[in-house]
A and B are shown apart, each in its own frame.
Chain A
Amino acid sequence: KNEVEQSPQNLTAQEGEFITINCSYSVGISALHWLQQHPGGGIVSLFMLSSGKKKHGRLIATINIQEKHSSLHITASHPRDSAVYICAVSPTSGSRLTFGEGTQLTVNP
């Protein structure tokens, strides 16, 4: 079992829909990261959080440390949101970042 599990693996939505991507982890962490990877391969850091909730534009990330679970929400989705979204954790053990397998999001116009 992977230390970081994401769901769903693939998600197709219509423009304007509210989207949720989930991430569960099994290790102690100092932080959780949500990353966005575009088709060219480059990765952008969307959020780093260790508790509570963060919001940036149409993106919201939440984390429940007790339940070892995080969600990434996209409100009013748009085709330009189409990308792979990756959850990663910084383990308290000092190991390097541990990545989930990513969620491929496609938003159709």
Chain B
Amino acid sequence: SAVISQKPSRDICQRGTSLTIQCQVDSQVTMMFWYRQQPGQSLTLIATANQGSEATYESGFVIDKFPISRPNLTFSTLTVSNMSPEDSSIYLCSVEEGIITEAFFGQGTRLTVV
């Protein structure tokens, strides 16, 4: 199984600023996934991060707002840019491994924008 270390675990940020969330995996993985979970709702996929290429964004999410880096097979960052209160959510990174893929998640980043 994969162990994912995600940080920060929580932050309170001012409107208009940016926050970068980091995820470190204890093994090499091809794809990493970034999710947003708005209050009281289920997880929504933001983007898929592949090493050596640009991230693939889901409908409704754009690179300017959520830039992603994937410098190697064990690390990725997600930046939430020019934040507004509507960005207040839990952000999670995830990896999947195996032929029938089991999912592993980071500890989550609880973001509050004031």
**Which A residues have a C-beta under 8 Å from some C-beta of B?**
30-31, 33, 35, 40-45, 48, 50, 86, 88, 90, 96-97, 99-102
A35-B103, A90-B100 given; A99·B109 CB < 8 A: no
> With contacts A101-B41, A101-B42 known, is A41 near B100, CB below 8 A?
no
Q: How far is B106's CA from A45's CA once the two chains are assembled, in angstroms?
A: 11
Residue pair A41, B108 in contact (C-beta under 8 Å):
yes
Determine if A43 and B92 form an interchain contact, defined as CB atoms under 8 angstroms apart.
Answer: yes
Q: Which residues of A contact B106 (CB under 8 A)?
A: 42
Tell me whether A88 and B105 are in contact in the complex, defined as CB-CB below 8 angstroms, given that A100-B42, A101-B41 are known contacts.
Answer: no
Give a binary string over B22-60; 1 marks a CB under 8 Å from any A CB, 0 the rest: 000000000001000100011101001000000000000
Which B residues contact A (CB, under 8 angstroms)?
Answer: 1, 6, 9-10, 33, 37, 41-43, 45, 48, 90, 92, 94, 96, 100-110
Q: A40-B108, A41-B90 are in contact. Are A99 and B102 (CB under 8 A)?
A: no
Q: Is the CB of B42 within 8 A of A45?
A: no
How would you classify the secondary structure of chain B's contact residues: helix, strand, loop or mixed?
Answer: strand
Nearest A residue (CB) for B107: A42
Query: Out of B9, B33, B102, which one reaches A96, CB within 8 Å?
Result: B33
**Interface majority SS (helix, strand, loop, mixed), chain A:** strand
Please report the C-alpha to C-alpha distance between residue A62 and residue B42 in the assembled complex, in whole angstroms: 22
Q: How distant is A99 from chain B, measured CB to nearest CB, in Å?
A: 4
Closest Cβ of chain A: how far from B45's Cβ, in Å?
A: 5
Q: Which residues of A contact B102 (CB under 8 A)?
A: 31, 33, 45, 48
Inter-chain contact A40/B45, CB cutoff 8 Å:
no
By beta carbon, the residue of chain A nearest B58 is A96
